[in-house]
Structure 1
């Protein structure tokens, strides 16, 4: 799953308005933000296979340190502790950040082929395989994201014309990017180019979310 993860961020912003939307965007993708450097370092493994599923051009071979359920729980706990220690030490903000991290595994569970380990790469691997149906994958992510947008807009008010229309335009941009991601060619034909393009998008989208969120109150 790609943009569907951001639905969690928008929904959690309604739960805790003091949380930074930009940080939520980074937290919800923290698993993948760590995964790609791990791939480049040879710690985890991905194979680029065009049309591996209807929705993806890669096989996730080995990723217990980022994509196992145990790793996700530990990462969520780590993020929670960090936000409890960093001023203003808001317990509620720390909690939603941890939830954002943990949500990644459960959203991935819906779309991944059975490649998500519970704790080690030799443990049971799960995945309901929605990626095998590109239209269903795109529709689910779109519905989740639009639903998250509705929750976010219902909990915030615009302070300018950018605040009024910006987040809606941003969501349309995400939907367009995901259409290319699912129905188009691979973003990169090497592990390095795939990692760079993915990381650039994660940080770019987080920056845009942070900026647009400042235009609402």
Structure 2
């Protein structure tokens, strides 16, 4: 899941104002950010290597350290410590653990297959990206819509006013994530646009994913705080 994880950060910030939005956005995507790091360390290599060949259906990676269930226990303890240390709040530490746990649950329903600890251990996920990518995207879209509806409704109850332009910008960030996945669900960009084989040195898969995540994170951190409150 891509866009859906970011929605959980919006709710966390809405309910726990002591925390920082940027912090919650990062924590909501912690496992994926770890995946990017471990990919470059050679611990979780991701195929296909060329972004133009990649689809949700054919992407292959054993997310041993970033997403599997046993390492998740370590990451839960880690984020609790970070949240408590940064904000001097046990509550933020617990919220951090909740965001990481929810990431795992959402990936279980709509994402890559994870395991207990390694590909030869018990499976911990439905693996819909590989078996039924359009169903996975549908689940993510519905989840994102419901959470965003709840987020805006709760803001209205608190007297928070957003312009139509601002709401559209926020929703567009999530729509971009969903559309991006729809485009590459089962057909690669090379197939869609008849792109020839070439190597410019930067058309690799991981930088493309990092750019997508980074852009969404930046836009949300920019647009979400822009509101007025009725006094």
TM-score normalized by the length of structure 2: 0.77
The reply on whether 1:203 has 2:204 as its aligned counterpart is no
- Per-residue CA deviation, residues 140-170 of structure 1 (Å, 9 max, x unaligned), is 1110111111121122223555444432233
After TM superposition, the structure 1 = structure 2 runs for residues 124-163 of structure 1, keeping only pairs within 5 Å, are 124-131=122-129, 132-156=131-155, 157-160=160-163, 162-163=165-166
Distance 1:54 1:134 in 2: 9
Distance 2:23 2:226 in 1: 16
What's the counterpart of residue 47 of structure 2? 47
- The structure richer in strand per residue is 1
Distance 2:171 2:39 in 1: 34
**Which runs of structure 1 show a deviation greater than 6 angstroms over 4 or more consecutive aligned residues?**
189-192
Query: Are residues 49 and 97 of structure 1, via their aligned partners in 2, closer, same or farther at CA, if it must alter by over 3 Å?
Result: same
Task: Give the CA deviation at 1:66.
Answer: 1.0
After TM superposition, the structure 1 = structure 2 runs for residues 55-70 of structure 1, keeping only pairs within 5 Å, are 55-60=56-61, 62-70=62-70
What's the counterpart of residue 3 of structure 1? 3
Q: Which runs of 5+ in 1 are unaligned?
A: none
Distance 1:203 1:160 in 2: 24
What's the counterpart of residue 178 of structure 2? 175
Task: Give the CA deviation at 1:184.
Answer: 4.5
Greater Cα offset, 122-131 or 147-156: 122-131
Distance 2:119 2:169 in 1: 42
What's the counterpart of residue 116 of structure 2? 118
After TM superposition, the structure 1 = structure 2 runs for residues 26-41 of structure 1, keeping only pairs within 5 Å, are 26-41=26-41
Task: Give the CA deviation at 1:196.
Answer: 0.8
Greater Cα offset, 160-169 or 24-33: 160-169
Q: Which runs of 5+ in 2 are unaligned?
A: 191-196
- Per-residue CA deviation, residues 10-49 of structure 1 (Å, 9 max, x unaligned), is 3333432443333222212211111122122211233329
TM-score normalized by the length of structure 1: 0.81
Distance 2:203 2:74 in 1: 27
Greater Cα offset, 3-12 or 193-202: 3-12
Greater Cα offset, 162-171 or 197-206: 162-171
Contact 1:14 1:151 in 2 (8 A): no
